Amino acid sequence: MHKTLFCALLLACAGAAHASIIESFDDVAGLAAKGFILRNASTPAGTNAFFQGNSRVFSAYDGASNAYLGANYDSAAAGGSIDDWLISPEFSTASRGTISFYARAGADPGYVDSFQFGLSTGGTGAADFVLGALTAAPTGDWTRYTLDFAGTGIAGSVGRFAIRYTGPSDSANYIGIDSLSVQLPEPSAIALLGLGLAGVGASRRRAKRV
């Protein structure tokens, strides 16, 4: 019975998790008003940076066919180096949480579209972020990527999440980013779990005295 109660509490707390940020990229032009930062630090800079997805290349993971964030080799001039950044608004890292998004690349053969993602403690400069290894975006279908920020050094403060599209422009093609979410547990759910575990422990102690 105690095990059943414990599992029920875990399920209740999992169900109470909420998304601090959910971005479907249905309006890339409106991202700045939501606190996102789009930055093209490519050298030399090309003719564009992140833009509204092009459904003629491929459709979004979810929603309208162009409802995703796109970028391509034109972020940098020919022979240059791409350095495009998507930086999220600040969010609380007081409790454990996870970040997820979907990515894919254009299917033209012979090209590689690489990206990194990681966290800062609220700063927006390139040096403020601790980024993971370069990842080649898959060309076959949308692929989900996740990051648990517990133990990353930013827990207990505030943070920002960034995705960096980078690599030589001459070997790049086209990349899409979709369905970004930052999942944080409700404080009330964490408190409920603590109370539930305390109740289970008290019940066990009473059973031992019988």
- What are 82-101's pLDDT values in tens digits? 999 999 999 888 777 899 99
Considering only CA atoms, which of 105, 83, 82 is closest in space to residue 168?
82
Q: Is 96 helix (H, G, I), strand (E, B) or coil?
A: coil
The pLDDT assigned to 203 comes to: 38
Q: Are strands 130-131 and 114-120 parallel, antiparallel or unpaired?
A: antiparallel
Question: Looking at 37-171, which runs of residues are DSSP E strands?
Answer: 37-40, 43-45, 51-52, 69-72, 76-87, 91-92, 98-105, 114-120, 130-131, 135-136, 143-148, 158-168
| Mean pLDDT value of segment 44-53 | 96
Token pair in block for residue 64:
């309208």
Q: How many CB atoms lie within 10 A of CB 106?
A: 20
Q: Please tell me the distance from the alpha carbon of residue 154 to that of residue 159, in angstroms, as a whole number.
A: 7
| Mean pLDDT value of segment 133-150 | 94
Considering only CA atoms, which of 175, 163, 166 is closest in space to residue 31?
163
Q: How confident is the model at residue 30 (pLDDT cuts 50, 70, 90)?
A: very high
Q: Please tell me the distance from the alpha carbon of residue 117 to that of residue 134, in angstroms, as a whole number.
A: 8
Angle, nearest 10°, between helix axes 187-209 and 2-15? 180
Q: What percent of the chain has pLDDT over 90?
A: 66
199-204, long-range: CB within 8 Å, 24+ apart, which pairs?
Answer: 199/5, 200/2, 200/5, 200/6, 203/2, 204/2
Amino acid occupying residue 28: V
- Residue 81's φ and ψ, nearest 5 degrees, are -120, 125
- Alpha helix locations (H) across the chain? 2-15, 187-209
The pLDDT assigned to 194 comes to: 38
Against a cut of 0.85, is the pTM above it?
no
Considering only CA atoms, which of 208, 113, 116, 199 is closest in space to residue 164?
116
The pLDDT assigned to 158 comes to: 86
Is the pLDDT reported for residue 190 higher than 80?
no
Q: Are strands 43-45 and 76-87 parallel, antiparallel or unpaired?
A: antiparallel
Most confident of 1-10, 84-93, 155-164: 84-93
Q: What is the pLDDT of the chain when averaged over all its residues?
A: 82
The pLDDT assigned to 151 comes to: 64
